[in-house]
């Protein structure tokens, strides 16, 4: 096998691999949207998939701020921000949302983008919960019962803006706390917190509570299991309050000592509520509460319009480029068009293999990549023309054209790579997507211009003895 044949075999293998990696994306986006939604809900997305960003698919954008004044004394803001991002990412992953962006912005802000999630309330319920789980004993003393009766006589809810009203706070006994329940109820619990969710190992939903309603089973680690067993064993006949983010979800009576480190939380849940609770418990608690300071929902119609306009613009621009090369450079222009087509094929295939998220800036990056590839091919073809004008034979002119344009092509692409690196380092969100697309495309364009285009010229000239070149 000749050297040229080995090159062709390598390129054909790359084309086959590209088709292999692109097929899942083509099949996914040509599937009926309803069926696709079912597969996505079941987390059966293809392994290699070119994802669509928020601006193309629609969804929810949230800007969240950590409440710095509620951080633990021994925790820095930087560490808390990193932990919060990790917890939110775990929650989103368990929720089954693909193509997400979760990134730091500034000193205390977190950007969360959830493509395909238009119900912002559900997103906030999952992401924004602090998920601080506590097990507290419900007060069962006579003084506590009298205090609850007096609080009830106030005639309205004892809470306002998440805090106990002053008139109710005066009636709360020492070493006790008044906490709200999930359904317009309230409880007096001890200030002591013998067990927290820090010892939680797992949380799962099952049906089997009162009237077949869903409950959340939880499993504690070894240390938490021992504490839980001792706590329940010492308080048989009393109520144990299971508190999440300051709200009592349930307060069952302890009927016997509970060993094994497992239990369940019930609270007349709907299935979606129970699943959401299990997700936030499994993912862990945020280091401090977060508040949402910006919320934006992008409709899927806007995304569809963006896709259509972006694709139409790309197809029109690339089509004009192809026509220009065919008309101006003739047969040599056809080789360039084939090289550009390979450039696009390899670029999109690599993005699909990496599971990249395509955004509108990403589409702009693809268009710019085509422009860079055009620039490289124009340098080559014009250099070949110059060599032919000097009277050189066709083969020598082609070799000189590629060799002498190589340094200029490398230098121009190197500056683009440097700019892309800066965009990726200091940019956020879509800017990073643009930088990634531009970087991959620039590397591929150098390969297709210097290797693939040259292979086509060599193949064309290898079977004929010609003194002219259609260029």
Query: Between residues 225 and 162, which one has the greater pLDDT?
Result: 225
pLDDT value of residue 429: 59
| Strand-pair partners of 62 | 112, 295
- pLDDT tens figures, 338-365: 998 898 899 889 888 887 777 777 777 7
- pLDDT tens figures, 212-245: 778 888 888 899 899 999 999 999 999 999 888 8
Q: Superfamily for 3-32+299-462?
A: Multidrug efflux transporter AcrB transmembrane domain (1.20.1640.10)
pLDDT value of residue 209: 59
Helix axes 394-426, 453-462, angle to 10 degrees: 170
Pairing of strands 186-190, 109-115: unpaired
Query: Between residues 355 and 325, which one has the greater pLDDT?
Result: 325
301, pLDDT greater than 60: no
CA neighbor of 219 nearest in space, from 263, 160, 175: 263
* pLDDT level of residue 451 (50, 70, 90 thresholds): confident
* CATH number attached to the domain at 59-128+292-298: 3.30.70.3400
410, pLDDT greater than 70: yes
Counting residues of the chain whose pLDDT is more than 90, the rounded percentage is: 8
DSSP type of residue 16: H
Mean pLDDT to the nearest integer, 247-257: 87
Domain coordinates in residue numbering, the chain: 3-32+299-462, 59-128+292-298, 133-270
**Cα 215 to Cα 280: distance, rounded to the nearest angstrom:** 15
133-270, what's its fold?
A: Gyrase A; domain 2 (3.30.1360)
pLDDT value of residue 76: 83
Give the CB-side neighbour count of residue 42, counting CA atoms within 13 A: 8
272, pLDDT greater than 90: no
Mean pLDDT to the nearest integer, 40-54: 74
Q: What are phi and psi of 101, to 5 degrees?
A: -120, 120
- Is the pTM above the cut of 0.75? no
pLDDT value of residue 471: 76
pLDDT value of residue 119: 66
15, pLDDT greater than 90: yes
What are the start-end ranges of the E strands in 93-193? 101-105, 109-115, 133-137, 159-160, 163-164, 176-180, 186-190
- Residue 58 and residue 257 in contact, taking contact as beta carbons nearer than 8 Å: no
pLDDT value of residue 188: 92
pLDDT value of residue 306: 66
- pLDDT tens figures, 118-133: 666 767 777 777 777 8
User: Cβ neighbours of residue 269 under 8 Å, at least 6 residues apart?
Assistant: 209, 213, 214, 215, 216, 277
Mean pLDDT, rounded, of the chain:
82
The reply to whether domains 59-128+292-298 and 133-270 share a CATH topology is no
16, pLDDT greater than 90: yes
Query: Between residues 297 and 466, which one has the greater pLDDT?
Result: 297
* pLDDT level of residue 378 (50, 70, 90 thresholds): confident
Query: Between residues 59 and 41, which one has the greater pLDDT?
Result: 59
Query: Between residues 251 and 56, which one has the greater pLDDT?
Result: 251
95, pLDDT greater than 60: no
Strand ordering across the sheet containing 290-298 = 101-105, 109-115, 59-66, 290-298
49, pLDDT greater than 90: no
User: Cβ neighbours of residue 249 under 8 Å, at least 6 residues apart?
Assistant: 181, 182, 242, 243, 265, 267, 277
pLDDT value of residue 466: 67
Mean pLDDT to the nearest integer, 7-25: 90
Query: Between residues 165 and 432, which one has the greater pLDDT?
Result: 165
pLDDT value of residue 189: 92
pLDDT value of residue 179: 92
Query: Between residues 325 and 467, which one has the greater pLDDT?
Result: 325
pLDDT value of residue 41: 62
Mean pLDDT to the nearest integer, 439-461: 86
């Amino acid at each position: 096998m000749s050297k040229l044949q080995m090159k062709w075999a390598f390129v054909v293998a790359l084309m086959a691999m590209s088709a292999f990696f692109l097929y899942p994306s083509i099949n996914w986006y040509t599937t009926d949207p309803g069926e696709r939604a079912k597969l996505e809900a079941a987390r059966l997305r293809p392994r290699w998939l070119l994802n669509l960003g928020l601006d193309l698919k629609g969804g929810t954008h949230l800007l969240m701020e950590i409440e710095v004044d509620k951080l633990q004394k021994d925790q820095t803001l930087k560490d808390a921000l990193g932990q919060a991002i990790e917890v939110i990412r775990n929650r989103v992953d368990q929720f089954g949302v693909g193509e997400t962006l979760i990134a730091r912005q500034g000193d205390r802000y977190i950007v969360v983008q959830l493509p395909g999630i238009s119900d912002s309330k559900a997103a906030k319920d999952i992401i924004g919960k602090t998920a601080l789980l506590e097990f507290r004993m419900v007060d069962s003393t006579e003084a506590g019962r009298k205090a609850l009766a007096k609080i009830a006589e106030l005639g309205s809810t004892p809470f306002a803006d998440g805090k106990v009203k002053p008139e109710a706070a005066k009636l709360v006994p020492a070493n006790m706390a008044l906490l709200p329940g999930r359904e317009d109820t309230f409880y007096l619990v001890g200030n002591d917190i013998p067990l927290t969710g820090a010892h939680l190992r797992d949380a799962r939903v099952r049906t089997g509570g009162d009237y077949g309603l869903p409950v959340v089973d939880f499993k504690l680690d070894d240390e938490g299991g021992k504490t839980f067993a001792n706590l329940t064993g010492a308080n048989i006949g009393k109520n144990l309050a299971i508190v999440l983010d300051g709200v009592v979800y349930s307060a069952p009576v302890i009927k016997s000592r509970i060993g094994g480190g497992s239990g369940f939380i019930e609270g007349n849940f709907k299935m979606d509520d129970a699943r959401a609770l299990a997700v936030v418990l499994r993912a862990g608690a945020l280091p401090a509460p977060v508040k949402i300071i910006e919320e934006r929902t992008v409709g899927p119609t806007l995304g569809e319009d963006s896709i259509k306009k972006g694709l139409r613009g790309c197809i029109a621009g690339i089509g004009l480029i192809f026509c220009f090369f065919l008309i101006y450079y003739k047969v040599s222009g056809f080789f360039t068009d084939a090289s550009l087509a390979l450039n696009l094929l390899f670029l999109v295939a690599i993005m699909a293999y990496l599971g990249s998220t395509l955004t509108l800036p990403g589409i702009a990056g693809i268009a710019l990549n085509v422009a860079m590839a055009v620039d490289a091919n124009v340098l080559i073809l014009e250099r070949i023309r110059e060599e032919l004008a000097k009277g050189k034979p066709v083969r020598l002119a082609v070799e000189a054209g590629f060799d002498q344009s190589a340094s200029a092509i490398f230098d121009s692409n190197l500056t683009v790579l440097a700019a892309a690196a800066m965009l990726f380092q200091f940019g956020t969100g879509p800017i990073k997507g643009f930088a990634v697309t531009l970087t991959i495309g620039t590397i591929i364009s150098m390969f297709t211009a210097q290797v693939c285009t040259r292979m086509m010229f060599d193949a064309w000239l290898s079977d004929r003895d010609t003194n002219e070149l259609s260029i």
